[in-house]
């Protein structure tokens, strides 16, 4: 799945020892494997080969411009949820016809920007948003394509914070109100009612939830056809999970078969918004050990990366594998909790992991951090965010500089 491997007890990113990169750029440090990313992009495209699906990478998963340029060059569009992401897509040369604009709280400024960029589709989150888009479109004398984000109201086996299709979710139009919303949109005349959109959640490892949701959209599309509303696009969102710790995600081909076979009953064209499945396992977060200690019988390794650098473990209880950058053959393993330096009890990177003890100055690698790693980082405790480095074979490049404290204050 990736190109991070041990050679002579030393962890490498492709052909470069992680220690060499970390010694040059400091820690904490995000390190990406270009060849892993290219491999994942190729695998996803091959799964949908021949379908003419528009695949829009979810910019929220990773916002590094160099990474997004590689994804763009592979033929992927952009799934954007903010004005900043729209401008990033424009900056790297994504045509408007390959951009979808999502989000449950689009501002007027963001909507006007998207209208001027002539994005492929607005995924409308509420009737009030529909009126705002219609009014601004009239002002700019354009007629944008819209689809409603419809909430199919199903439960999925994932963390509650990333399950977005539950009844009462902040996202989308409830299924029972969608038909009325579509009729209203058609009556306005200022928007082109072109599609239907769903995004049921993230880190979903089975295909059944996608089937169930698409079956509900099929029923809705039938009602719309009878009312004279023809849907040209079905946007199935993203959400396919990856392996962090023992998960068995559905194979890409199986996922693609489910999406394509169920979507064609709804509309002739498919849009996808993958994020995590493309980028998660392309990166590691290298961290340096500050101290080790025992408290109440619990053994800790304190590292220099914290919840401000990688929020997922604290926010979701997410599991990320932790490995030594160098393995010491004669050093015994014990159960350790890897903690960060942030002034919060929840600043825990990994709980009770069977690891070799690691001493100050030694390094650990946190795996699977390419998605929602740097993009969710912050300056909490006035801590500068880390650098990002891209490895390509024997070469490596800094693709984002480490922030400086003087710039923050």
C-alpha span between 267 and 235 (Å, rounded): 10
In terms of DSSP bridges, do strands 333-339 and 348-356 run parallel, antiparallel, or are they unpaired? antiparallel
Q: Report angle CA 275, 115, 272 to the nearest 5 degrees.
A: 25
C-alpha span between 285 and 261 (Å, rounded): 38
C-alpha span between 356 and 123 (Å, rounded): 49
- Active-site residue flag, 343: yes
Helix (H, G, I), strand (E, B) or coil at 403: coil
C-alpha span between 107 and 259 (Å, rounded): 31
Residue with tokens 């219609």: 134
Residue with tokens 């990002």: 388
Q: Are 245 and 321 in contact (CB under 8 A)?
A: yes
For residue 208 the two structure tokens come to 């059944």
Count of CB atoms within 10 A of residue 293's CB?
A: 10
Exactly one of 63, 80, 305, 343 is catalytic; name it: 343
Q: Are 386 and 29 in contact (CB under 8 A)?
A: yes
C-alpha span between 319 and 141 (Å, rounded): 49
Active site residue ranges: 343
């Amino acid at each position: 799945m990736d190109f991070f491997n041990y050679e002579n007890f030393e962890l490498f990113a492709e052909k470069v020892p992680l220690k060499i990169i970390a010694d040059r750029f400091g820690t904490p440090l995000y390190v990406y494997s270009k060849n892993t990313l290219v491999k994942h992009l190729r695998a996803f495209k091959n799964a949908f080969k021949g379908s003419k699906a528009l695949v829009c990478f979810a910019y929220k998963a990773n916002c590094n411009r160099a990474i997004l340029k590689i994804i763009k060059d592979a033929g992927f569009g952009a799934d954007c949820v903010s004005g900043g992401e729209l401008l990033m897509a424009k900056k790297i040369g994504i045509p408007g016809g390959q951009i979808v604009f999502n989000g449950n709280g689009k501002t007027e400024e963001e909507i006007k920007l998207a209208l001027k960029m002539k994005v492929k589709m607005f995924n409308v989150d509420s009737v009030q948003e529909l009126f705002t888009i219609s009014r601004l479109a009239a002002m700019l004398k354009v007629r944008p394509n819209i689809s409603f984000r419809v909430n199919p109201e199903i439960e999925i086996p994932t963390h509650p914070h990333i399950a977005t299709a539950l009844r009462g979710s902040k996202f989308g139009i409830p299924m029972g109100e969608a038909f009325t919303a579509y009729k209203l949109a058609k009556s306005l005349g200022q928007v082109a009612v072109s599609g239907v959109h769903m995004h049921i959640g993230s880190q979903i490892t089975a295909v059944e939830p996608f089937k169930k949701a698409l079956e509900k959209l099929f029923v809705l599309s039938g009602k719309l056809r009878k009312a004279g509303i023809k849907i040209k696009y079905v946007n199935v969102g993203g959400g396919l999970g990856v392996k962090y710790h023992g998960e068995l995600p559905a194979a890409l081909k199986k996922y693609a078969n489910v999406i394509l076979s169920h979507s064609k009953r709804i509309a002739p064209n498919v849009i996808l918004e993958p994020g995590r499945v493309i980028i998660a396992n392309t990166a590691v977060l290298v961290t340096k050990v500050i101290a080790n200690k025992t408290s109440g019988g619990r053994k800790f390794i304190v590292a220099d990366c914290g919840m401000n650098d990688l929020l997922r473990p604290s926010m979701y209880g997410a599991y990320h594998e932790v490995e030594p950058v160098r393995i010491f053959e004669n050093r015994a393993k014990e159960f350790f909790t890897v903690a960060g330096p942030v002034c919060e009890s929840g600043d825990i990177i990994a709980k009770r992991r069977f690891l070799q003890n690691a001493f100050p100055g030694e390094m650990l690698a946190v795996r699977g951090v390419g998605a929602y790693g740097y993009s969710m980082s912050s300056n909490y405790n006035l801590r500068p965010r880390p650098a990002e480095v891209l490895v390509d074979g024997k070469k490596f490049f800094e693709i984002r500089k480490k922030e400086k404290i003087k710039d923050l204050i």
